[in-house]
């Protein structure tokens, strides 16, 4: 496994980040534990979750599952960089959501209880809250840091302007500010290149990419029954991009690699990317991508990929002229 610094912080995280959204609702607890064990054994030290994850089992279920895994061996906590999130609704209560100072404090305390830990390494705002003044957000974050409950702060799904606003306010308060942004970014969805990635580079945020395989479109396997790739929307999306995906599959065949591995390796070659989230549902899926950090893509291959999946271009040039 290879490691990179998380943005301008001194914290080092593995290039593959283990996403846990499937743990519990899609992957039963015993197999989730086995995936976690195998990931740690392979050198992955970065685990990402969110307080809302749990699906049909209910919000908080995935954090609770992780808490039970951590409780099996207390030494595990010190070996991992633990990330979770706040913002999404946790109940029908009108205040049990968003980024009010009250909810941030309460949600953090609840995550700590479910996870069974005394601090969270990277606490991420899951989405912007247009009703919450940034001064109120930083007040709550400062309190959590002072209490020793969180160490670093990140954003997720933030537009470029919100990243700039948040960090300018942090600079004015003489604080470190955001050190990471978790963003939707893959070969098919490249709009983050217009403003989000440049903002992250300008302010020293490490980028953690989610949905690196575009909901399975870049996985290179035919959609089967059940799961997101078997849905009507996924089938339509695959049909609409059949030519593009076919060309990509042929390129990957020529490299002797799976489309999944090449799509992940491409992300790790992009400027400013710290890690990409993998969300395996099984041990086999995990094993199939563990070699990605060592997978080198030469300039010719990168150029061919760009031909298949053209970039959006930078803002404002991409839309202004």
Q: Give residue-wise pLDDT tens across range 105-129.
A: 999 999 999 999 999 999 999 999 9
Q: How far apart are CA 147 and CA 270, in angstroms?
A: 36
pLDDT, the chain, mean: 95
State pLDDT tens for residues 142-162. Answer: 999 999 999 999 999 999 999
- Local confidence band at 221 (pLDDT 50, 70, 90 cut-offs): low
> Which has more pLDDT, 279 or 225?
279
Structure tokens at 293: 């950090």
Is residue 321 classed exposed, middle or buried when 0-12, 13-18 and 19+ CB atoms within 10 A define those classes? exposed
Closest CA to 254 of 186, 304, 306, 189: 304
Q: How far apart are CA 98 and CA 88, in angstroms?
A: 6
Structure tokens at 105: 């404090």
Instruction: Indicate the domain borders of the chain.
Output: 3-320
Residues 6+ apart with CB under 8 A from 251: 262, 301, 304, 305, 308
Q: How far apart are CA 122 and CA 144, in angstroms?
A: 12
Structure tokens at 138: 């930083």
Is pTM beyond 0.75 here? yes
Q: How far apart are CA 16 and CA 3, in angstroms?
A: 9
233: left (phi over 0), alpha (psi -120 to 50) or beta: alpha
Q: Which CATH architecture has domain 3-320?
A: Alpha-Beta Barrel (3.20)
- Local confidence band at 231 (pLDDT 50, 70, 90 cut-offs): confident
Please report the pLDDT score of residue 220 as a whole number.
Answer: 81
Task: Find out whether 156 and 126 touch, Cβ atoms under 8 Å.
Answer: yes
- What residues are annotated to the active site? 53
State pLDDT tens for residues 8-42. Answer: 999 999 999 999 999 999 999 999 999 999 999 99
Please report the pLDDT score of residue 34 as a whole number.
Answer: 98
24: left (phi over 0), alpha (psi -120 to 50) or beta: left
């Amino acid at each position: 496994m290879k490691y990179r610094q998380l943005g301008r912080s001194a914290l080092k995280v593995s290039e593959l980040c283990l996403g846990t959204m499937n743990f519990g609702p899609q992957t039963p607890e015993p197999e989730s534990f086995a995936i976690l064990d195998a990931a740690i054994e392979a050198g992955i030290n970065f685990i990402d979750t969110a307080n809302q994850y749990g699906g049909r089992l209910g919000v908080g279920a995935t954090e609770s599952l992780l808490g039970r895994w951590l409780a099996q061996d207390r030494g595990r906590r010190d070996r991992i960089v633990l990330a979770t999130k706040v913002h999404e609704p946790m109940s029908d209560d009108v205040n049990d959501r968003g980024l009010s100072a009250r909810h941030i404090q309460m949600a953090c305390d609840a995550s700590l209880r479910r996870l069974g830990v005394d601090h969270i390494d990277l606490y991420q705002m899951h989405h912007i809250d247009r009703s919450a003044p940034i001064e109120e957000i930083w007040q709550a974050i400062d309190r959590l840091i002072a209490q020793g409950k969180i160490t670093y702060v990140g954003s997720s799904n933030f537009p470029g302007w919100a990243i700039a606003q948040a960090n300018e306010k942090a600079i004015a308060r003489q604080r470190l500010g955001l050190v990471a942004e978790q963003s939707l970014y893959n070969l098919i969805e490249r709009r983050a290149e217009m403003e989000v990635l440049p903002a992250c580079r300008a302010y020293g945020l490490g980028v953690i990419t989610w949905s690196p395989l575009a909901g399975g479109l870049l996985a290179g396997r035919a959609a089967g029954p059940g799961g997101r790739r078997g849905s009507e929307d996924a089938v339509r999306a695959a049909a609409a991009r059949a030519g593009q995906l076919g060309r990509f599959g042929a390129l990957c065949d020529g490299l002797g690699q799976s489309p999944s591995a090449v799509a992940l390796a491409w992300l790790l070659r992009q400027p400013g990317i710290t890690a990409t989230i993998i969300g395996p549902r099984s041990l086999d899926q995990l094993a199939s991508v563990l070699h990605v950090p060592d997978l080198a893509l030469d300039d010719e291959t990168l150029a061919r990929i760009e031909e298949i999946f053209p970039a959006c271009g930078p803002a404002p040039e991409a839309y202004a002229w």
